[in-house]
Amino acid sequence: MLPVVDIGLSVQNLSKTYHGAKTPVFSNLSFDVGRTSRLAILGRNGQGKSTLIKMLGGILPPNEGHIRWRMSSSWPIGFTGGFQGSLSGLDNIRFIARIYGRKYQDILERVDDFAELGRALREPVKIYSSGMRARLAFGLSLAIEFDCYLIDELVAVGDARFQRKCNEELFQARADRAFMMASHNTHIIGEHCDRALIIESGKAKIFDDVHEAIDVYSWLRAA
């Protein structure tokens, strides 16, 4: 149990069922995340990892339960659904800077340096490739500082050099921050996470030993 003062996120009795579905994605999910905790979210395809990340990021509403943040959180890194496709990358950056009360020029410089999109920032986002949109989303997520980062497999974006750059920014430059990461990459999880949540058949279990969680998850994937 975490002391109350150290809890940055409290999830209580969370349930999600999509319209028309007969069974919930998950139900009665409860857990806490510390202000410096690094929580892996594990589960086979279709078990609800991305759904949970989107709920925590405020993109999807729960059917039941409560999500209480006591620290600032990013939107899901790499989520491109919030972009206005008819606007340029520059205009989308300007919009995000205004929402978060940041100086546009400061945010632009950080995004431009990280995402490496160059002149493409002047073009409408709707003509971007999926990789370009993900670079822009990742750059924006890291241009605005948060206490906790939500990650959904985005470490796979781009070539090997860009992936190293992403890893350095998330796991080294922000070593004092919390994050929650949904991923199939057990190597990255074992290296960077200290706890894990496994979602399976609508239920979830927290593991304080991340390596034990990886063993259980590997068994589930092989079954």
Q: Residue 21 and residue 17: Cα distance in Å, rounded? A: 6
Domain count, the chain: 2
- Which one of 145, 172, 196 terminates a domain? 145
Residues 63 and 162 in one domain: yes
Per-residue pLDDT of the chain (223 residues; tens, 9 = 90+): 666 668 999 999 999 999 888 888 989 999 999 999 999 999 998 889 989 999 999 989 999 999 999 999 988 876 666 688 889 999 999 999 999 999 999 999 999 998 899 999 999 999 998 888 888 888 888 898 899 999 887 655 667 788 788 888 888 889 899 999 998 889 989 999 999 999 998 888 899 999 999 999 999 998 7
- Which one of 145, 164, 191 terminates a domain? 145
Residues 136 and 156 in one domain: no
Cβ-count burial of 1 within 10 angstroms (0-12 exposed, 13-18 middle, 19+ buried)?
Answer: exposed
Position 169 in a domain: yes
- Which one of 145, 172, 197 terminates a domain? 145
Q: Residue 18 and residue 25: Cα distance in Å, rounded? A: 8
Residues 197 and 166 in one domain: yes
Q: List, in order, residues 6 or more apart from 79 with CB less than 8 Å away.
A: 54, 57, 59, 137, 152
Residues 202 and 133 in one domain: no
Position 24 in a domain: yes
Q: Residue 122 and residue 154: Cα distance in Å, rounded? A: 24
The model's pTM is 0.86
Q: Hey, what amino acid is at 208? A: D
Residues 67 and 170 in one domain: yes
Position 77 in a domain: no
Q: Are 150 and 9 in contact (CB under 8 A)?
A: no
pLDDT, residue 157, reads 61
Residues 39 and 52 in one domain: yes
pLDDT, residue 2, reads 62
Residues 14 and 102 in one domain: no
Q: Residue 107 and residue 142: Cα distance in Å, rounded? A: 9
Residue-number span of the structural domain to which 127 is assigned: 82-145
Residues 87 and 52 in one domain: no
